[in-house]
Amino acid sequence: MDPPLINESSFSAANPSAYSLAEIWPFPINPGSDPTAVTGGGLGLRIGNLGGFGETSGLRDGSMEESTVTEQSVGCGGGRKRKELSSEDESSKIVSTTTSANELNDSNGKRMKTPVSKNGNTGSKEAEVEASSADGSKPDKNSKPAEPPKQDYIHVRARRGQATDSHSLAERARRERISERMKILQDLVPGCNKVIGKALVLDEIINYIQSLQQQVEFLSMKLEAVNSRINVNPSFEGFHSKDLGLQPIDGAGMIFGSQTAREYAQGSHPEWLQMHVGGNFERAT
Amino acid sequence: MNNPHHLNPTSLKSRFTTRFLRALTKIHAQKSISSSSPTEIFRRYRRIKVAADKSMAYSVRSRRIWSRAMLWKLRSRSYRRQDPCSGRRSGKINQAIMKKSSNENTTTRREDGVGFVEEADELRQLVPGGEAMNLCNLLDETAHYIKCLTTQVQVMKKIADFYSF
């Protein structure tokens, strides 16, 4: 991963270097120099894309440039070329370390110019290569057919970049929703407000639910015992009215958060019940 | 005003109380012979537990995912009790469906990016029907489920206290 990094910095900073590189390259190095032609054309296209991105933000633009540049370095391929690059870009690297995102934006303008000359250069190359490829009669034409697939590729890349952007937006919204719900749950579960960290809060919630479920089991066991012990079934209407009559007494405004961890021990505290019974349920349904 | 629960018979608490007491009286009436064998006691306990769950889920009605899932589970369980052969098969199918859905979820869950995947999985086990929920729904349903559970506990405790004094 090191060489691409070097390439990134050097390329993003100074495209003139790429231009000079194209000059320096002797033709025999890349006999089937289609890759260079493609990258040359691609560079221009990329700039078209980047021009669209330029309005969004400097940072974003910088990242996009980086990605495209790595692509290009990959496209250039050969280790020998890369060596040349790194040896030859010492000066440009110094520039690149100082470049900010805005300067990268400016380098777009520079880049706009370079591909033209580069195209010309590679075009002359291709004029020699043409015989083997036998593709187009003129360099312009030769670079044109290479463009559409490249453009497609770049388009996908750009779209992918946009997708991650919207995705990150959606992700942020989702996270907000989740934390909102976590807050509601924290209010609901006693003793959860002091806990920091979502995982710990969830642990606390899980414990609470488990304790409640155990309480239900325990109470149904108790009810079973009670139910079997009592021979005479008390009139359930009377009980019902009594049960409901009890409720207003238990202050209807108790907040769950005021409870301690005491009720985890599923004890039979009547005052615990009194605290629980209230209009809490209606509050949130 | 001073007695909102009397004025509001449609509140979830009173609905649950009515249903649960009805189920309790039914269970009590069915127990003609006071058998004290452990299996009988356990069976009655299970019936009370199921009655509590069922009346809670019915009181919520099918407004919530967890209540629907709970009712579905209880129904399949009662079917199993009635017809062991077909019931077991349906139970297996249910399990397979559950497993499948949870497996499908794992792939999406891994890319959730939240830092509490294990805890969320644990929570999914606890909340009925939670296997097939995404995280937002899960937290929503958990909140409602907790409220219902607390109501259930309150009412059951009150009934138990009333019976046992």
- Rounded-to-integer distance, Cα A48 and Cα B149, Å: 60
Q: Over 60: is that where the pLDDT of A275 sits? A: no
Q: Which of B52, B115, B159 sits opposite A199 (nearest CB)?
A: B115
Q: Is residue A187 part of a domain?
A: no
What average pLDDT score do residues B151-165 get? 86
Q: Is residue A190 part of a domain?
A: no
Domain region containing B43: 4-164
Q: Is residue A186 part of a domain?
A: no
B24 touches chain A (CB under 8 A): yes
Tell me which chain B residues have a C-beta less than 8 angstroms from the C-beta of A202. 116, 119-120, 122-123
Q: Which of B115, B116, B136 sits opposite A181 (nearest CB)?
A: B136
Determine, for residues B17 and A178 on separate chains, whether the beta-carbon distance falls below 8 Å: no
Q: Are residues A216 and A139 in the same domain?
A: no
Chain B nearest-CA distance from A160, in A, is 17
Determine, for residues A281 and B13 on separate chains, whether the beta-carbon distance falls below 8 Å: yes
Under 8 Å between Cβ of B74 and B91: no
Q: Is residue A193 part of a domain?
A: no
Q: Over 60: is that where the pLDDT of A281 sits? A: no
Render B89-112 in DSSP notation, one character per residue. Answer: HHHHHHHHHHHHHHHHHHHHHHTT
B32 touches chain A (CB under 8 A): no
Render A101-124 in DSSP notation, one character per residue. Answer: HHHHHHHHHHHHHHHHHHHHHHHH
Domain region containing A224: 198-284
Last residue of a domain, which of A135, A150, A178? A178
Render A13-59 in DSSP notation, one character per residue. Answer: H-HHHHHHHHHH--GGG-TT-HHHHHHHHHHHHHHHHHHHHTTT-HH
pLDDT in tens, B43-84: 888 888 889 998 989 888 888 889 889 888 888 876 665 544
Q: Over 70: is that where the pLDDT of A105 sits? A: no
Q: Is residue A208 part of a domain?
A: yes
The structural domain count of chain B equals 1
Question: Of the segments A261-265, B20-24, B33-37, B82-86, which one has the largest average pLDDT value?
Answer: B20-24
Q: Are residues A36 and A174 in the same domain?
A: yes
Q: Over 50: is that where the pLDDT of B131 sits? A: yes
The structural domain count of chain A equals 2
For residue A112, what are the contacts with CB-CB under 8 A and spacing of at least 6? Answer: A44, A47
Q: Over 60: is that where the pLDDT of A226 sits? A: yes
Q: Are residues A134 and A212 in the same domain?
A: no
* Residue B35 pLDDT class (50, 70, 90 cuts): low
- Rounded-to-integer distance, Cα A203 and Cα A156, Å: 42
For residue A185, give the nearest of B20, B120, B10 by alpha carbon.
B120
Q: Over 70: is that where the pLDDT of A14 sits? A: no
Backbone φ and ψ for B21, nearest 5 degrees, come out as -65, -35
Q: Is residue A185 part of a domain?
A: no
Q: Are residues A15 and A135 in the same domain?
A: yes
- Rounded-to-integer distance, Cα A99 and Cα A270, Å: 71
Backbone φ and ψ for A242, nearest 5 degrees, come out as -70, -40
Please give the pLDDT value at position B39.
84
Please give the pLDDT value at position B41.
83
Q: Which of B5, B44, B147 sits opposite A244 (nearest CB)?
A: B5
The pTM score is 0.48
Q: Are residues A14 and A140 in the same domain?
A: yes
ipTM of the complex: 0.77
Q: Which of A198, A209, A224 sits opposite B115 (nearest CB)?
A: A198
Last residue of a domain, which of A117, A147, A178? A178
Chain A nearest-CA distance from B24, in A, is 8
Q: How far is CA A164 from the centre of its chain?
A: 6
Q: Is residue A34 part of a domain?
A: yes
Least trusted range by pLDDT, from A212-216, A245-249, A255-259, B67-71 = A255-259
Q: Are residues A274 and A156 in the same domain?
A: no
Q: Are residues A164 and A241 in the same domain?
A: no
Q: Are residues A23 and A74 in the same domain?
A: yes
Please give the pLDDT value at position A75.
38
Determine, for residues B48 and A224 on separate chains, whether the beta-carbon distance falls below 8 Å: yes
In chain A, the residue whose alpha carbon lies closest to the alpha carbon of B122 is A206
pLDDT in tens, A168-206: 788 888 888 888 888 888 888 888 888 888 888 888 899
Q: Is residue A146 part of a domain?
A: yes
Determine, for residues A185 and B146 on separate chains, whether the beta-carbon distance falls below 8 Å: yes
